[in-house]
Amino acid sequence: MSRVPGWLGRLGAGLTEMSERLDERRAEVEQQSDPLAAPAPPAPALAADRTPAADGPPASAADTPPPAGTSAPPAGPRPDPALAVPWGVRVAAEAGWRLLVLAGTVWVLIQVISAVQLVVFAVVIALLVTALLQPTVARLTRRGVPRGIATALTAISGFVVIGLMAWFVTWQVMENIDTLSNQIQSGIDDLRNWLLKSPFHVTDKQINQIAKNLREAIGANTDQITSAGLEGVQVIVDFLTGLLLVFFSTLFLLYDGKRIWQWFLKLVPAAARPGVAGAGPRAWRTLTAYVRGTVLVALIDATFIGIGIYFLNVPMAVPLAVFIFLFSFIPLVGAVASGALAVIVALVTQGVFTAVMTLVVVLAVQQIEGHVLQPFILGRAVRVHPLAVVLTVAAGGMVAGIGGAVVAVPLVAVTNTVVGYLKQYSEELQQQKAPAPPAPASEPENAEDPVHAE
C-alpha cells in the first residue's frame, strides 16, 4: 500500500511532461505557419529534466527530436497549385475555355438561325433591297412627297420591276423550249459524231452503253425524283411566304427605319450604346455602297455578255443575260456558273467554235469587271481580300446554301466596317481617359526675355 502513492506521482509527472512538450510543439508549428506571431516563451524546465547538461547552451528547436509517435512539422506553407503549372499551359488553358465558350455560343446561334431560317433570310434580303431603294425614297421626300406615299411608290415599283424580269425570263424560256430542245438534240448528235471520229477512239457501243446507264440510273431513282418534285412544291410555298415577308419588311424599313434603329439601340447596354450608335450609320453606308455597286456591276456584266452572245446567234440571249445578272450577286461563284451556262448552251446549239467565242466573251467581261469595275465602283468602302471572299462564300454556301452565299460577302463587309470603327472608338476613349501630361513650370515674372535681351 505504501508504493501506490509513489507510482501515481510518477504517472502524473509523465503526463504533465508530455502535455508541456505537445504545447511547445504546437507553438513552434504556429510560429512557422505565421512568421509575424510572437515566439512562445520557453516552458520552465521540469525537475526531472534538470541534469548536469542543462547548464550548457540550450538546444535549438530544429535539433530537438520530435517525441515518439508524432510526425515532423512541415517545413513551411505549401505553394499555390496554380503556380506549379507552367505559364504556357496556363495561358493555353485560359484561351481554350474561352474559345469553347465562343464556339458554343456560335453553335447555339447557328441552331437558332436554322430554326427560323426563312425569317432571317427574308429580313436580310429586305435590308439589301432597302439599301438599294432608300436613296429613291429620300429623293422623293426632299421634293415634297409625303414619306408614306414615297415609300409605297418606291417599294411597289421595285417589286414590279423584279416581277417583270421573272415573267420575261419565264416567257422567253417557254416560247423557245421546243426550238431549244431540237437544237440540243441536234447538238448531242453532232457531239456523238465528233466523238466517233475523234482521236479518243470512242465506239458506238460505248456511247450506247453510256446512254443506257443514264436511262437505268433515272429509272432506278424515280422515287427520289418524285420526292424531289414534292419538295419542290414545298420550296415554292416557302418562296412565296418569304417573298411576302420581304415585301412587308422592306415597306416598314423604308418608312420607319430610323425609329426601328432607335428602338434597337435601347436594347444595347448603356455603356456600349455610344459606340454602337456610331457604328450603325457607317455599317449602313457600307451596305448601301455594296448593294449599289453590285447591282451596277451585274447590270454591266449582263449587258455586255448578252450583246456578245446575241451577235454569236446563241439562242435565248436575253434570258441568259438575266440569269447572268442574277447570278452576279453571288461573288466569284455566280460569275463562273452563269458563264458556264452560257458556254454550254452555245456548245449544244451552235457548235464548238461558237462555244469557244462565248467563253472568250465571258472571260473578257469578267476580267474587266474584276480589275476595273469593282475597284472603281465599289471603292475602298467594301474592300475585302479575295481569299476572305472565297472562304466566306464557301462557308455561307455550306451553312445556308445559295442564300448564305449571297449574304456572306455583305455580312463580312459590314462586320469589317463595324469592328474597325469600334476599335478606333475604343482607342479614342482610352486616350480621353488618360491623364493629361503635366504643364511645364512657369518662368518667374522677372525672367529675362531672350528675344528682347540685350
How remote is the C-alpha of 218 from its chain's centroid?
40
- What is the distance between the alpha carbons of residues 284 and 298, in angstroms, rounded to a whole number? 21
Closest CA to 351 of 175, 193, 173, 176: 193
C-alpha–C-alpha distance, residues 329 and 352, integer Å: 29
Weakly modelled stretches of the chain, pLDDT under 50: 1-2, 37-38, 40, 43-63, 443-454
Helix, strand or coil for residue 394?
helix
Count other C-beta atoms under 10 Å from residue 141's C-beta: 14
The predicted pLDDT at position 383 comes to 66
Going from the C-alpha of 117 to that of each of 113, 228, 285, 401, the distances in angstroms are 5, 20, 26, 11
CB 322 within 8 A of CB 165: yes
Is there a contact between 187 and 344 (Cβ–Cβ < 8 Å)?
A: no
| Phi, psi torsion values for 101, nearest 5 degrees | -65, -45
* Neighbouring residues of 297: CB distance < 8 A, sequence distance ≥ 6: 328, 369, 373, 374, 377, 378
**What pLDDT is recorded for position 448?**
45
What is residue 54's predicted lDDT score, i.e. its pLDDT?
A: 43
The reported pLDDT for the residue numbered 184 is 66
> Residues 6 or more apart from 96 whose CB is under 8 A from it?
none
3-state secondary structure of 30: helix
Q: Residue 321: how many CB atoms within 10 A of its CB?
A: 23
In this predicted structure, what is the pLDDT of residue 104?
92
Burial class (CB in 10 A: 0-12, 13-18, 19+), 381: middle
What was the pLDDT predicted at 451?
43
Cell 420526292 locates to 227
Nearest one of 424, 417, 139 to 281, comparing CA atoms: 417
Looking at residue 101, its pLDDT comes to 93
The sign one gets for the Cα dihedral 238, 162, 364, 389 is negative
Looking at residue 268, the DSSP 8-state letter turns out to be S
